[in-house]
Structure 1
Amino acid sequence: MNTDPIADYLTRVRNAIKANHRIVEIPASNLKKEITKVLFDKGYIANYKFEDTNAQG
């Protein structure tokens, strides 16, 4: 079974918004970081922060 990391990312964001959560933690990737920046620029999210943990999966 394959998973779609972008669909998972968008679902986590959507569910957090619906549940009125102020924070959602998502496993990082360069593509997700770029999508996050676009969502912020377009006003879909109010703020974001990337944490560099130096962890590799």
Structure 2
Amino acid sequence: MARKVPTKADVYSYGILLLEVFIGRKPTDEQFDGDFHLRQWVAEAFSVAISNVIDN
């Protein structure tokens, strides 16, 4: 039985694909195991980068 994939899932998957292309890491890398995911890694990296820009 085929089910239709919601648009939100497509958009999320496309976003993860773009992250892979831009940063050169895959969600399946060993670093992203357990509760630590690619999306969290990017969010933390951006928050540090934004803080550095604001501080300067």
Q: TM-score, normalised by structure 1?
A: 0.35
Structure (1/2) with the larger helix percentage: 2
Q: TM-score, normalised by structure 2?
A: 0.35
Question: Which entry has the higher C-alpha Rg, 1 or 2?
Answer: 2
